[in-house]
């Protein structure tokens, strides 16, 4: 280490282990460098080779996910987020990411910075975020810690997103004791960019200056990526400094400035600073352009004095960007940041060496080859052992015959309407600004997926949704993985959209546990099957392992699917609510004697172990094609898919929005149990309503397309099932709307 | 008549307002950056809009820093000369902080941010902003704020009534001023007011979010139509 000052001591194996590296990884670093790294260099490798940045235990399988599709401009992994062609010279950049670990410790900042981080991933590509979604999972809400986490996460998402000024348009919230210690907080951003104004996260052109812009760098979030790459234990409280602090106002300025600076034509490449801070952005941008950089860490604007080189390198302070600028065009870039009152400092220069050299004043503090740090370059890749967990066989033993059918199904309905996985999440979503941007057309026109105009003066719209029933994935990862993708697509289709592509957030336990890894491998296999069948490639996302704790074990395998679909005109959107008294109600699909993994089975009977509900990919595809045709033919008044809580919940949700009721009857002479018909969750079913004058035409068309059961009619007032009055629609509405608040506030 | 929409750092409904005024209403409109010190291209028949958002992050107190923004001196002068100024949400907060409107906007009484549709009853149509409405009619317009609880002392409240300065009050769908219909605890359910000289208007709800078919709600449109129609008459 001739040119590294002798005052910097060689790092030790002990230090490497403390930073989360394996002994063989420490050896590999020594081989790459041809010497022992110093502590700063070791820190750089530790964070870049952490699970969070390197995807070392997942990349082999991620590469097997379908990545090609006719609408894709940028495939997974090529940029910060995938790009889908939406026509008219516009593209959609979208991505979902987890912020589980920080949210478990500090829910408010953890969730807030999750939102900030995912938006930055989108606007760093030049796209203006048009909407946000989120997927949240918590433990039992009766638990005080869960209440604290829910309040903190919701306020964090709200405060950040509301101030940043992007509407939160859709999401999901689940409660299950399995998430007691490890809540999941997944945030998704969707942005729109002109196809000729996209920016790449690349460094090239020797002599080009490297700028850091946005907030000053502080000591927050150091080793955040490493923290996210381990289990949560009693010692996790010591990791609190690993949680970052968000400033949505700075991010709003950074958004406007970043989009404005792109228009100057001076930007060669740009990357936001998320996990692993300056280390990650300098190495990934350099590796992508086969370039090197000389970086002066003392030129980085800092929040406190005397920050150590490795602290500056690893800080995960939010609201920062690294920009490589065309030499000679510095003034136009600086003028934009001056306008928005943001820091804008030259911290280095691009060269052709492929080497990253970090200086503090005159002192070279670290010197590492860029390629050796990154995914697809020198970062390690592992294939972990996996084996089928014993519970899987037990789940398959479940038989509906062993569950007695309750006499009073009305009582079941009353329990389910208040089940927190079914009841309205109004308390949550009224705290989010869902309307800013005047793009969300679903506020007064509810549908299974939110329908958002791509631009304020455009008819073209996107349907967006996040979905994952993690209990299904746990019950059988191969089938559950398919259902997650299929349900997302079904929601898009029921809203009048054409599914385009997905982003995924893969939340699993510890990958070194063979049972967890078995869930991971199989869930991805299931997702692949569904993505191939539905023509919706995976454009990107992230993997969050280590969602497990000493007491609670691993969370349900939770591959959250964020999907977008296209509508040529927002006016073509289909809504989920019944429209008129007297309209006919039909169910597309087949009733089955199936209550497996249903909310009904778990909450009413207390039975956790069963398999996934019935699902068959071919059938699902036919269903979706049928719904598309019915919407295009303008034959239906509403469409709402059957998911948690079964047919009854779907009917209820369609009815109460418009203060209507329903009168439905099960088909005669079947061997389907009434509880399975009403509350089972067998897949590939959609409830539609049809106005009286179109019934004949509807029946003629649907006959040749898909199985369809006539259920009854839309009424005013009561919910009537097989002649029995289940109660007033209004009463159910109150229960549905207030159940969550009741448990939360008591 | 033309409109100017002010962009403070942290404004986030500026683009919505520009879109609705320009694309939907077909009015002439330009953006005014907060660093502009002169707005001489606007005359008193024009209207300056302070949009919603989180000016300066709202980190001190909502609207408190924006009030000291370079452009605000020019806007206060403009208002004092009789020019029309409309503040929506954060813009209303800035107008109160600037003393162009009386009263203050405090944290919602449930201490939470609230985004939802609410009903408003028109209390007066004797302003250029409500001229086309029917007094007593009910509009459905969404709110989105954490600090929208209008408050003023008793004397000011009496003055507001005496001078017919209350524009809107929160009510239920049929026009009753109930406690349940008051989303934030505002005094007397007040949602919007005007100044004594009836050229400065402030309201917490967002009419620009209820002005086109794509939102499936056009109740807010009549307020912009009023401004444009009144200007046409003058």
Subunit contact A435:B144, Cβ cutoff 8 A: yes
Q: According to the model, what pLDDT value does residue A239 have?
A: 65
- Residue of B9, B10, B142 with shortest CB distance to A435: B142
Show which residues on chain B lie within 8 Å of chain A, measured between beta carbons. Answer: 9-10, 12-13, 15-16, 19-20, 23, 35, 52-54, 56-59, 112-117, 142, 144, 146, 206, 208-209, 212, 214-217
Which helix (H) or strand (E) is B180 found in, with range?
none
Render pLDDT for A651-686 as a digit per residue (tens, 0 to 9). 999 999 999 999 999 998 889 999 999 999 999 999
Q: According to the model, what pLDDT value does residue A2 have?
A: 42
Q: Is pLDDT above 90 for B3?
A: yes
Q: Cβ distance B97 to A417 under 8 Å?
A: no
Show which residues on chain A lie within 8 Å of chain B, measured between beta carbons. Answer: 155, 158-159, 162-165, 247-250, 252-253, 339-341, 430-438, 441, 443-445, 453, 456-457, 570
- Residue of A162, A250, A453 with shortest CB distance to B214: A453
Per-residue DSSP letter, A693? G
Q: According to the model, what pLDDT value does residue A224 have?
A: 65
Q: According to the model, what pLDDT value does residue A237 have?
A: 63
CA A281/CA A300 separation, integer angstroms: 14
Residue of chain A nearest B16, judged by CA positions: A437
Could you tell me the domains of chain A? Answer: 1-67+200-381 (3.90.650.10), 403-432+574-746 (3.90.650.10)
CA distance to partner chain A, nearest, from residue B222 (Å) = 17
Residue of chain A nearest B144, judged by CA positions: A433
**Structure-block tokens of residue A339:** 């306008």
Closest CA to A432 of B106, B145, B54: B145
Chain A CB contacts of B52 below 8 Å: 436
Subunit contact B10:A253, Cβ cutoff 8 A: yes
Q: Is B11 helix (H, G, I), strand (E, B) or coil?
A: strand
Subunit contact A248:B54, Cβ cutoff 8 A: yes
Q: Cβ distance A267 to A181 under 8 Å?
A: no
Percentage of residues in chain A having pLDDT higher than 90: 88
Which helix (H) or strand (E) is A248 found in, with range?
helix A248-262
Subunit contact A456:B9, Cβ cutoff 8 A: no
Starting at the edge strand that comes first in sequence, how are the strands of the sheet with A661-664 ordered?
Answer: A638-641, A686-690, A584-588, A708-715, A661-664, A718-721, A724-728
Subunit contact B57:A433, Cβ cutoff 8 A: no
Subunit contact B144:A433, Cβ cutoff 8 A: yes
Subunit contact A430:B115, Cβ cutoff 8 A: yes
CA A382/CA A609 separation, integer angstroms: 32
Q: According to the model, what pLDDT value does residue A376 have?
A: 87
Render pLDDT for B14-53 as a digit per residue (tens, 0 to 9). 999 999 999 999 999 999 999 999 999 999 899 999 999 9
Per-residue DSSP letter, B1? -
Question: Cβ neighbours of residue A525 under 8 Å, at least 6 residues apart?
Answer: A477, A478, A481
Chain B CB contacts of A444 below 8 Å: 117, 215-217
CA distance to partner chain A, nearest, from residue B66 (Å) = 13
> Of the given ranges (A143-152, A373-382, B96-105), which has the lowest mean pLDDT?
A373-382
Closest CA to A608 of A142, A143, A176: A176
Domain residue limits at B225: 2-233
Per-residue DSSP letter, A612? P
Render pLDDT for A221-242 as a digit per residue (tens, 0 to 9). 777 666 666 777 767 666 656 6
- Residue of B9, B212, B215 with shortest CB distance to A340: B9
> Of the given ranges (A81-95, A653-667, B79-93), which has the lowest mean pLDDT?
A81-95
Per-residue DSSP letter, A10? B
**Sheet strands (E) in B109-199:** 114-122, 138-145, 149-151, 166-171, 190-194
Render pLDDT for A563-595 as a digit per residue (tens, 0 to 9). 999 999 999 999 999 999 999 999 999 999 999
| Residue A437 main-chain phi, psi, to 5 deg | 100, -10
Q: What's chain A's average pLDDT?
A: 94
**CATH code (residue B32):** 3.40.50.880
> Of the given ranges (A494-503, A545-554, A730-739, B89-98), which has the lowest mean pLDDT?
A545-554
> Of the given ranges (A97-106, A208-217, A218-227), which has the lowest mean pLDDT?
A218-227
**Which residues of A are known catalytic residues?**
52, 99
**What ipTM does the predicted assembly reach?**
0.97
Percent helix, percent strand, percent coil in chain A, to nearest 5: 40, 25, 40
**Which residues of B are known catalytic residues?**
89, 206, 208
- Residue of A165, A435, A457 with shortest CB distance to B53: A165
Q: According to the model, what pLDDT value does residue B231 have?
A: 74
Closest CA to A559 of A660, A486, A500: A486
Render pLDDT for B144-174 as a digit per residue (tens, 0 to 9). 999 999 999 999 999 999 999 999 999 999 9
Number of domains within chain B: 1
Chains A, B: CB contacts within 8 A come to 96
Percentage of residues in chain A having pLDDT higher than 70: 97
CA A231/CA A242 separation, integer angstroms: 14
Q: Is pLDDT above 90 for A124?
A: yes
CA distance to partner chain B, nearest, from residue A70 (Å) = 29
**Structure-block tokens of residue A430:** 């009224």
């Amino acid at each position: 280490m001739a040119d590294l000052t002798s005052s910097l001591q060689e790092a030790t194996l002990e230090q490497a282990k403390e930073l989360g590296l394996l002994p063989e990884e420490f050896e590999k670093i020594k081989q790459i460098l041809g010497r022992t790294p110093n502590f700063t260099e070791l820190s750089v490798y530790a964070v870049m080779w952490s699970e969070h940045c390197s995807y070392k235990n997942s990349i082999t399988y991620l590469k097997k996910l379908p990545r090609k599709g006719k609408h894709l401009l940028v495939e997974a992994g090529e940029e910060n987020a995938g790009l889908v062609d939406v026509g008219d010279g516009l593209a959609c950049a979208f991505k979902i990411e987890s912020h589980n670990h920080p949210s478990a410790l500090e829910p408010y900042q953890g969730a807030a910075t999750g939102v900030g981080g995912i938006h930055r991933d989108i606007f760093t590509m030049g796209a203006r975020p048009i909407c946000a979604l989120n997927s949240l999972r918590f433990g039992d809400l009766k638990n005080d810690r869960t209440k604290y986490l829910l309040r903190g996460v919701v306020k964090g998402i709200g405060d950040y997103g509301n101030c940043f000024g992007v509407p939160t348009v859709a999401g999901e919230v689940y409660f299950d004791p399995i998430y007691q210690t490890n809540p999941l907080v997944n945030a998704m951003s969707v942005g729109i960019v002109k196809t000729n104004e996209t920016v790449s996260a690349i460094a090239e052109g020797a002599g080009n200056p490297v700028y850091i812009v946005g907030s000053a760098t502080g000591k927050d979030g150091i080793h955040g990526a490493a923290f996210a790459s381990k289990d949560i234990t009693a010692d996790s409280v010591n990791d609190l400094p690993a949680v970052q602090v968000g400033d949505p106002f700075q991010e709003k300025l950074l958004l406007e400035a970043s989009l404005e600076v792109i228009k100057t034509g001076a930007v060669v490449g740009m990357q936001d600073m998320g996990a692993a801070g300056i280390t990650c952005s300098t190495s990934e941008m350099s590796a992508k352009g086969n370039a090197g950089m000389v970086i002066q860490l003392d030129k980085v604007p800092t929040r406190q004095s005397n920050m150590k080189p490795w602290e500056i390198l690893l800080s995960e302070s939010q609201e920062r960007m690294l920009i490589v600028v065309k030499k000679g065009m510095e003034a136009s870039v600086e003028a934009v940041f001056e306008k928005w009152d943001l820091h804008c400092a030259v911290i280095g220069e691009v060269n052709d060496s492929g080497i990253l050299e970090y200086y503090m004043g005159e002192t070279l503090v670290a010197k590492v080859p860029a390629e050796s740090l990154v995914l697809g370059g020198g970062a390690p890749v592992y294939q972990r052992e996996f084996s089928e967990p014993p519970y899987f066989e037990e789940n398959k033993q479940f038989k509906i015959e062993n569950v007695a059918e309750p006499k009073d199904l009305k009582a079941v309905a009353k329990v389910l309407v208040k089940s927190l996985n079914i009841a309205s999440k109004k308390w949550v979503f009224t705290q989010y600004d869902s309307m800013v941007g005047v793009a969300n057309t679903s506020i007064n026109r509810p549908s299974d997926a939110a329908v958002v105009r791509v631009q304020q003066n455009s008819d073209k719209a996107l349907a967006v949704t996040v979905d994952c029933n993690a209990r299904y994935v746990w019950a059988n990862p191969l089938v559950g993985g398919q259902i997650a993708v299929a349900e997302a697509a079904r929601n898009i289709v029921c809203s009048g959209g054409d599914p385009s592509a997905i982003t995924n957030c893969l939340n699993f336990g510890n990958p070194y546990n063979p049972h967890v890894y078995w869930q991971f491998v199989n869930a991805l296999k299931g997702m692949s099957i569904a993505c191939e069948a539905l023509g919706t490639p995976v454009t990107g996302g992230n993997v969050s392992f280590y969602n497990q704790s000493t007491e609670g074990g691993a969370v349900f395998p939770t591959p959250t699917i964020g999907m977008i679909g296209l509508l040529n005109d927002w006016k073509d959107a289909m809504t989920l609510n019944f429209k008129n008294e007297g309209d006919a109600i039909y169910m597309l699909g087949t009733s089955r004697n199936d209550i497996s993994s249903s909310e009904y089975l778990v909450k009413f009977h207390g039975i956790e172990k069963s398999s996934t509900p019935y699902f068959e990919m071919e059938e699902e595809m036919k269903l979706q094609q049928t719904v598309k045709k019915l919407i295009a033919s303008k034959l239906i008044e509403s469409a709402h898919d059957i998911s948690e809580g079964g047919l009854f919940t779907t009917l209820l949700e369609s009815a109460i929005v418009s203060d209507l009721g329903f009168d439905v009857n099960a088909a005669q002479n079947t061997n389907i149990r009434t509880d399975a018909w009403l509350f089972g969750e067998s897949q590939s079913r959609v409830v539609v309503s049809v106005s009286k004058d179109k019934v004949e035409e509807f029946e003629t068309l649907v006959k040749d397309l898909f199985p369809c059961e006539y259920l009854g009619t839309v009424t005013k007032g009561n919910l009537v099932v097989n002649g029995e009055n289940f109660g007033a629609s209004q009463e159910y509405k109150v229960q549905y709307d207030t159940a969550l608040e009741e448990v939360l506030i008591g | 008549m033309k409109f100017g929409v002010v962009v403070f750092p942290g404004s986030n409904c500026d683009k919505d307002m520009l879109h609705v005024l320009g694309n939907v209403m077909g009015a002439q409109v330009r953006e005014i950056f907060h660093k502009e010190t002169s707005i001489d291209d606007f005359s008193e028949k024009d209207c300056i809009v302070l949009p919603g958002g989180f000016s300066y992050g709202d980190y001190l107190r909502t609207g408190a820093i924006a009030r000291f923004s370079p452009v605000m001196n020019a806007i206060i002068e403009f208002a004092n000369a009789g020019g029309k100024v409309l503040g929506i949400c954060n813009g209303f907060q800035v107008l109160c902080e600037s003393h162009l409107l009386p009263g203050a906007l405090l944290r919602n009484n449930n201490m939470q941010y609230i985004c939802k549709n609410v009903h408003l009853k028109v209390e007066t149509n004797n302003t250029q902003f409500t001229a086309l409405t029917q007094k007593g009619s009910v509009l459905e317009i969404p709110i989105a704020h954490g600090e929208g609880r209008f408050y003023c002392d008793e004397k000011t409240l009496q003055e507001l009534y005496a001078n017919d300065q209350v524009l809107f009050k929160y009510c239920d769908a049929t026009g009753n001023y109930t406690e349940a219909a008051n989303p934030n605890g505002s005094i007397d359910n007040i949602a919007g007011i005007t100044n004594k000289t009836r050229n400065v208007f402030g309201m917490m709800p967002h009419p620009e979010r209820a002005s086109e078919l794509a939102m499936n709600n056009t109740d807010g449109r009549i307020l912009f139509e009023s401004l444009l129609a009144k200007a046409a008459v003058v």
